[in-house]
Amino acid sequence: MITQTNQRIIIIEPSTIVFAGLQSIIERMHIAESIYHVTELDTITQKLAQLRADIIIVNTAVFGFHKNLSIKSIFKDCTHASIIAFVSQYSDSQFLKQFDDIIDIYDDAQTISAKIRHIIEQDTIDITETDTTELSEREQEVLIAVVKGLINKEIASTLNISIHTVMSHRKNITRKTGIKSISGLTVYALFNNLIKQEDVQ
C-alpha cells in the first residue's frame, strides 16, 4: 500500500556537506523512497517530470537572477510537488512567500523534521473525511496516467489532447482532490478503484 514512507525527494543544494546533513535527517524520518541530489538549478529543470518528486527542497541561493521569476514557472513540470525553500543567506520575503514552507540553515533537526512531516500530512488523504468534487471521466484518465508515471507530453499523446489541456486537467485534479503529491494521488486512485495495486508496483 502507498504510505507516507514512499516520498520522492529532490534536494537542490550546491554544498555536498549541507546535502549530507539534510539527507541524514530525512533518512532518520523513514519517509523517503528516494533522495535525489542536484547541485545546480539548470541541471534539474529538464529532469523534473521524469523524477516525479513529491517534495523539492531547494537552497534559494541557486536561483540567482531567476528570483525575478515565479516558483511555479521554474518548476512548471512538477506541479504536484511541494516546494520547500532552504535559506542559507538573505532572501527577499516576498520571494519566500511562493514556497510551501521554509527551512532555515539554523533550524535544528527536530524543527526540520516537523516541517517536512507537516508538508506530507497536508497531502495525506483522510479517507473518512475527504469530501471532494467528483472527477470527470477525462480527469480520471489523466489521473491514472499520472500515477502510472507518464509525463505531460506522454499523457497528451496517449489521450490525443494538447499538453496545455493535460496541465489544465492536472490543475483541476489538484483543486478537486486537494492533493498535490504523486503518492497522495496514488492513494486516491487506489481507494476509488481507478487503478489496481499492481499498476503502481
Residue-wise pLDDT for 163-200, tens only, equals 888 888 888 888 888 887 888 888 888 888 888 877 76
CB 179 within 8 A of CB 123: yes
Q: Name the band, by pLDDT with cuts 50, 70 and 90, for residue 4.
A: low
Contact (CB, 8 A) for 44 and 38: yes
Q: Which CATH number applies to 4-122: 3.20.20.210, 2.60.120.200, 2.60.120.260, 3.40.50.2300?
A: 3.40.50.2300
Question: In the prediction, which pLDDT does 3 show?
Answer: 47
Say yes or no: do domains 4-122 and 137-200 share a fold: no
What is the tens place of the pLDDT at every residue in 79-110?
A: 778 899 999 888 888 888 888 899 999 999 99
Residue 163 neighbours by CB under 8 Å, 6+ apart: 152, 153, 156
> 156 phi and psi, to 5 degrees?
-60, -40
pLDDT for the residue numbered 129: 46
Top-level class of domain 137-200: mainly alpha
* pLDDT score of 152 more than 70: yes
Read out DSSP for 144-188?
A: HHHHTT--HHHHHHHHT--HHHHHHHHHHHHHHH---SHHHHHHH
Residue 14 pLDDT greater than 80, yes or no: yes
Stated as kind and residue range, the H or E segment containing 86 is strand 82-87
Please give the distance of CA 201 from its chain centroid, rounded to a whole number: 19
**Amino acid 18: pLDDT:** 94
How is the chain split into domains, by residue range?
Answer: 4-122, 137-200
Give me the half-sphere count of Cα atoms (radius 13 Å) on the Cβ side of residue 75: 26
148 is written with which cell numbers?
Answer: 502510472
In angstroms, the Cα distances linking 163 to 48, 77, 79, 144, 148 are 16, 11, 13, 16, 17
